[in-house]
Amino acid sequence: MRLRKKWFYWLPLLAVLALVAAACNGEADPDAPGEVSVMSAFTGDEADLFRESIAAFEEETGIDVDYEPADGFETVIQTRVEGGNPPDIAMFPQPGLLMDIVEQTDAAPLSEFMDIDELEDTMAQGFLDATRDEDGEAYGLPMRLANKSLLWYPVPQFEEAGYSIPETQEEMIELEEQIRADGHVPWCLGMESGDATGWVGTDWVEEYMLRLHDAEVYDAWVEGEQPFDSPEVQEAFEWFGRVWQEEGNVVGGTDGLINIPFGESPNVMFDDEPGCYLHRQGNFVTGFFPPDVQEDLDAHVGVAFFPPFEGEDSPILAGGDLALMINDTEEARAFMEYMAQPQFGEEWAAEGGWLSPNVDFDPSVYPDEVHRQMHQTAVDADVIRFDASDMMPGAVGTGSFWSGIVDWVGGRRDLDEVLEFIDGTWPN
């Protein structure tokens, strides 16, 4: 099996562990080399697949991984840190929260125990930048990639209608017009997500920020140096508005967006007479498709890159999970080294729903061509930037940005009012 190769990358750490295991009088500690505690938001099936992915590490090293799945991870990790009892390693879906924990602990940057140049070469372009501090030190090790810049379509129905995959935003507008002229609805779009309602809309705005402006403008926006009411950000909102405000362009019309669950919204694509022909969402959406579609993705659904504007770069809006070593132990270092190897996650990837951030990951492990395409578009991207709302201060990113989008789409505030409102919530 491929997963058990290349242990030599971190064998020096195991040698250290063997020395640490020596007890007084030169006798070995029967419990050596010890354990590492790990916490993340992976629960249910995801927790089981994560455990399968780390079984080889436990077998080869003798280190026990004490894995704690945490519902409400954001609250739990803060409570544990504040109580002085954090796990050795925690895996964060939000870089901003990770950096908050860095400021509250003695967490070491990756460069203190890993080859940072090698990580730069092997991780998806720009992924390490999501958790760099002012000194340029990166803290979060990418261990799962979410590719959000994906355009989904129902393969048989799409081809039967004679439609072509758009390669630019301009071609996408032409496709929308063609679909409407044929008496159909172009887009499936639902925003309802319980307490998190709003993130679907912020993802759309982030997509357009990356396509309309260069990465430096996007970065300045994330840092609060590019205000929401600036012309650049307003333009991105307006492009998203063009999608849902155009009559007949989205399933359910403008009144239905906020009430349609995001996970259910694409499923009408697979009706005999499709309720829509296009859906923009991250790779994780496959887990919400109807069971018969999930059983054979290649036969039912196609995936393409959410296109750039003509003549512009092809950027990827990414999400994912990043591991932070909070307690510096040899066992924790060994586990971090393990997750950095290209074979990590093969068991999870083989089941679908997981993408590796490592450019050297073997794509043949993925269960179908859909997953291979999702991985390849990410590693081939000109620019990758992490989800802006996950990197902004919580009061904005998962606060006013989310609620502002909902107010705008719901008609409670106009765009100028929303942008002014969001700017007013940015921490000093």
Beta partners for residue 250, in sequence order: 187
At 214-252, the pLDDT tens digits run 999 999 999 999 999 999 999 999 999 999 999 999 998
Structure tokens at 294: 């999930």
Burial class (CB in 10 A: 0-12, 13-18, 19+), 85: exposed
Q: Which residue has the tokens 């904005």?
A: 396
How far apart, in Å, are the Cα atoms of 333 and each of 35, 62, 208, 329? Answer: 11, 14, 39, 6
Q: Which of 1-10, 166-175, 306-315, 418-427 is predicted least confidently?
A: 1-10
CA atoms within 13 A on the CB side of 79: 8
Q: What is the pLDDT of residue 2?
A: 32
Predicted local confidence at residue 316, as pLDDT: 93
| pLDDT at 8 (0 to 100) | 36
Give pLDDT tens digits for 357-400: 999 999 999 999 999 999 988 888 878 999 999 899 889 998 99
pLDDT at 11 over 60: no
Spatial CB neighbours of 66, under 8 Å, sequence gap ≥ 6: 35, 36, 37, 38
The tokens for 85 are 């009892």
The pLDDT-based confidence of 195 (bands split at 50, 70, 90) is confident
Q: pLDDT value at position 15?
A: 45
pLDDT tens for 83-131 read 999 999 999 998 989 999 999 999 999 999 999 999 999 998 888 999 9
pLDDT tens-digit readout, 253-266: 887 889 999 999 99
Whole-number pLDDT of residue 313: 84
Q: Are 333 and 164 in contact (CB under 8 A)?
A: no
Nearest in space to 147 (alpha carbons), one of 203, 197, 211, 90: 203
CA atoms within 13 A on the CB side of 369: 8
Instruction: Report the C-alpha gap between 227 and 380 in whole angstroms.
Output: 30
pLDDT tens digit sequence for 274-303: 999 999 999 999 999 999 999 999 999 999
Q: Whole-number mean pLDDT of the chain? A: 91
pLDDT in tens, 153-162: 999 999 999 9
Q: Percent of the chain, pLDDT > 90?
A: 81
- pLDDT reading at 16 higher than 70: no
User: Tell me, what's the pLDDT at 127?
Assistant: 86
